[in-house]
Amino acid sequence: MKKSLTFLFLLTIFPFFTFSQQVQEVDDNSTLVQFSGMTITADSLNPVPYTKIIDICSHRGTTSDVNGYFSFVAHKKDTVVFTALGFKPASFIIPDTITKQRYSLIQLMTADTLTLSAAFIFPWPTLEDFKRAFVELKIPDDDLEIARKNLLAADIRMMAENYPMDANMNYRNYIDNQTSKLYYVGQQQPFSIFNVFAWAKFIKAWKDGKFKSQQERLK
């Protein structure tokens, strides 16, 4: 008997729950809005791509495309927040007075100046690597050091002219002569007597006194 009464009670109240649920669904569907629009800059009216659009009431949203266009489903009276890098956040409340289930918006985004803290980038991963690189750093020669090396090379050449050739220099001279002979195999080797540059070098050496005897140099 009790089971029969319980069954009849459920049959009695079930239509009311169903009707209430249907009414609630109708009310929810009537507040749904296809919210679409574009995000553009306030000064030049250029599209603002990849803007984050969040419905803070339903915690849903989307991102604008490369042309600044967006579209998603929201409810009337929902608050929508627009955020983009380099722009100030903006918000918009969907009005509840609209009669259609579509609403379009052109959202103007105002540029914002971001002040970031200074970032120091080093090529060394650790402090120990930096210390090692600092100690082993090879500083390039300055103008004074380059001039000193050039003068040192000139002094070496002048000293070499006053001393006889050693074994290494004799070997190098022999190899150069053999290479020169092999280069002119099958053809007439030019005579140095007709070499203008050789004559100019000879005259300069004669004027510099390089052909004087050792006794005359010591005087």
Residue in the block written with tokens 């090879």: 138
Residue with tokens 């009537």: 30
Strand segments, DSSP code E, in 44-101 are 52-55, 60-63, 69-75, 79-83, 90-93
Please, which residues have CB within 8 angstroms of residue 80's CB and are 6 or more apart in sequence? 35, 53, 54, 55, 56, 61, 74, 91, 92, 93, 94
Range scoring the smallest mean pLDDT among 101-105, 130-134, 154-158, 166-170: 154-158
For the stretch 92-127, pLDDT in tens is: 999 988 888 899 999 999 998 877 788 888 888 888
Q: Where are the domains of the chain?
A: 2-109, 143-191
- If one compares 127 and 19, the residue with the highest pLDDT of the two is 127
Place of tokens 């955020």: 83
Topology, domain 2-109: Immunoglobulin-like (2.60.40)
Is pTM beyond 0.75? Reply is no
Element (H, E) at 37: strand 32-41
Query: Could you tell me the two tokens for 208?
Result: 């510099």
